[in-house]
């Protein structure tokens, strides 16, 4: 369910606690002989212990060499150690896999990204008839459809029938913004993309992904059906334990609703296989085993910026990939959330560098930040320069931020409280059945402060730090912002 990691986020994501010995599993492949380097294992173990997270995985690809490491505990129910060969729920990184699959159909001429979807899916209906007539596959792949279904979840089961039921339910969904006007992260678009491929082929998304991407890539430990991952072992997510403050427990539910499979509910790869996918995209669509998975044109199209984020030109989307240019280097990335887990995949095509991570905790921001900063600093062949620290703003009027903001599954209320702004964030569980475990431990009340005339950051963030801001857009005649961009999603002001 998480979104691609923009520039300001590229150094954010990973793990939880217990100082068990780290394990390193070198990858023995003719195309990329692994070179054992104890510092990856030792560094990961030290960070897991420092931040008291259950466990973590990290893999690095650097100019032809691959190394993976695991540290801590993989499953708090059993105490099994986190080893580098374990599979894990990759969450929304699945969208890069699904987009790759879609592009194989574009390569064959069976799908035109810019033709209206209604020409392929005559039963398609949205709340806005104009959107029904105009929305294209490209709008799905770069999150610009405007559908107010960023995290709209219904549990209809798994497979083509479930996806058809989900798509039919979109007939009651309206718009959060006009089609193509902005990018706003939209999970629903990827269930729709999966349904599109199933409808034109008569095969399941799972089988299509396996036949057209997983097998040609040589990703021998990647499973489209999550239950198959147990054949080789899977890490289990962890969430804060309500009965033991500061401690974790295993997630009470392993999967988000399976209807979300094409968007990120069921795919289980390993670190090595996520890195195989990233490397294929840096090699013009050719897998490290020499098999062409995508045409060079399609690989290039996925890696080319198609739309900026509403927060500005520092980052945006290609197709499937998040796209940013820190220090002038094109960087492709995507994050992924699951019940009690967080994953990240980053690749810098021009430097032959990438890394993949997984944290079995949904409450490890500080650990994630330090882990990813370390991987870039110590393993990137030509790390980009640190951007300058943001300057402290002058006096900023807080009144334009205050109000109630709404999108499907989420309601945010912002009130002026002295010199700061109090925020209350509510997840509307009735609009996202089956996500209860995903939300365990999420902050619902906190304080924010302006970092610019249209940006807020957590008040707890140190001055001069680089927390990801909430960005506010489209002021009305009274100067009150009508749109809020937070967590990659747009929300509309619905009241004061």
Percent residues over pLDDT 70 in the chain: 92
Mean pLDDT of 36-43: 76
- Predicted pLDDT at 394: 83
Asked if 13 and 5 touch (Cβ cutoff 8 Å), the reply is: yes
- Predicted pLDDT at 38: 53
> How many CB atoms are located within 10 Å of the residue 253 CB?
17
Higher per-residue pLDDT: 6 or 390: 390
> How many CB atoms are located within 10 Å of the residue 325 CB?
15
Percent residues over pLDDT 90 in the chain: 81
Q: How confident is the model at residue 474 (pLDDT cuts 50, 70, 90)?
A: very high
Of 69-73, 196-200, 361-365, give the lowest mean pLDDT range.
361-365
Cα–Cα distance between 278 and 495 in angstroms, integer? 43
Q: How confident is the model at residue 227 (pLDDT cuts 50, 70, 90)?
A: very high
Mean pLDDT of 252-267: 96
**Taking 90 as the threshold, does the pLDDT of residue 282 lie above it?**
yes
**Taking 60 as the threshold, does the pLDDT of residue 149 lie above it?**
yes
**Taking 80 as the threshold, does the pLDDT of residue 16 lie above it?**
no
- Predicted pLDDT at 466: 77
- Predicted pLDDT at 389: 76
User: Considering the entire predicted model, what is its pTM?
Assistant: 0.91
Higher per-residue pLDDT: 459 or 76: 76
- Predicted pLDDT at 22: 34
Mean pLDDT of 307-326: 96
Cα–Cα distance between 191 and 207 in angstroms, integer? 15
Active-site annotation holds for 410: no
Of 153-157, 205-209, 262-266, give the lowest mean pLDDT range.
153-157
Higher per-residue pLDDT: 121 or 5: 121
Residue 132 — left, alpha, or beta (φ > 0 → left; ψ -120 to 50 → alpha)?
A: alpha
**Taking 90 as the threshold, does the pLDDT of residue 359 lie above it?**
yes
Mean pLDDT for all residues in the chain: 90
Q: What is the pLDDT of residues 93-109, one digit of tens each?
A: 999 999 999 999 999 99
Q: Which of 92, 184, 333, 491 is catalytic?
A: 92
């Amino acid at each position: 369910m998480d979104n691609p990691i923009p520039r300001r986020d590229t150094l954010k994501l990973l793990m939880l606690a217990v100082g068990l010995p780290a394990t390193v599993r070198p990858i023995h492949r003719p195309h990329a002989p692994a070179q054992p380097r104890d510092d990856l294992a030792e560094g990961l173990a030290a960070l897991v212990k420092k931040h008291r997270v259950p466990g973590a995985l990290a893999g690095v690809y650097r100019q032809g060499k691959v190394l993976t490491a695991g540290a801590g505990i993989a499953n708090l129910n059993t105490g099994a150690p986190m080893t580098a060969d374990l599979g894990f729920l990759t969450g929304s990184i699945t969208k890069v896999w699904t987009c790759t699959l879609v592009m194989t159909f574009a390569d064959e001429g069976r799908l035109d990204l810019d033709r209206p979807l209604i020409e392929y899916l005559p039963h398609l209906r949205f709340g806005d008839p104009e959107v029904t007539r105009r929305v294209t596959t490209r709008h799905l792949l770069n999150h610009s459809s405007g559908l107010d279904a960023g995290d709209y979840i219904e549990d209809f089961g798994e497979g083509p029938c479930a996806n058809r039921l989900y798509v039919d339910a979109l007939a009651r969904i309206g718009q959060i913004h006009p089609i193509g006007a902005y990018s706003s992260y939209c999970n629903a678009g990827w269930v729709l993309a999966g349904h599109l491929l199933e409808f034109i082929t008569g095969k399941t998304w799972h089988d299509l992904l396996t036949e057209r991407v997983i097998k040609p890539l040589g990703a021998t430990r990647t499973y489209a059906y999550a239950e198959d991952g147990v054949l080789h072992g899977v890490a289990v997510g962890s969430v804060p334990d309500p009965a033991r403050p500061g401690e974790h427990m295993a997630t009470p539910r392993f999967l988000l609703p399976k209807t979300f499979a094409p968007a990120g509910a069921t795919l289980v790869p390993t670190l090595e296989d996520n890195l195989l996918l990233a490397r294929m995209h840096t090699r013009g669509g050719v897998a490290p085993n020499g098999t062409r998975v995508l045409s060079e044109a399609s690989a290039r199209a996925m890696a080319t910026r198609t739309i900026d984020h509403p927060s500005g030109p520092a980052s945006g989307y290609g197709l499937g990939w998040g796209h940013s240019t820190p220090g002038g280097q094109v960087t492709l990335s995507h994050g992924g959330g699951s019940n009690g887990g967080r994953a990240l995949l980053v690749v810098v095509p021009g430097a032959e560098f990438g890394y993949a991570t997984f944290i079995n905790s949904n409450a490890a921001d500080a650990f994630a930040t330090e882990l990813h900063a370390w991987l870039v600093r110590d393993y990137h062949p030509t790390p980009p320069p640190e951007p300058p620290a943001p300057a402290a703003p002058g006096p900023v009027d807080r009144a334009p931020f205050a109000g109630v903001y709404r999108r499907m599954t989420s309601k945010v209320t912002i009130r002026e409280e002295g010199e700061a702004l109090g925020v209350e964030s509510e997840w509307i569980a009735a609009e996202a059945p089956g996500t209860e475990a995903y939300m365990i431990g999420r902050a619902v009340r906190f304080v924010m402060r302006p970092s610019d005339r249209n940006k807020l950051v957590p008040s707890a963030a140190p001055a001069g730090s680089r927390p990801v801001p909430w960005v506010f857009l489209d002021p009305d005649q009274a100067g009150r912002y009508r749109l809020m961009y937070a967590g990659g999603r747009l929300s509309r002001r619905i009241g004061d």
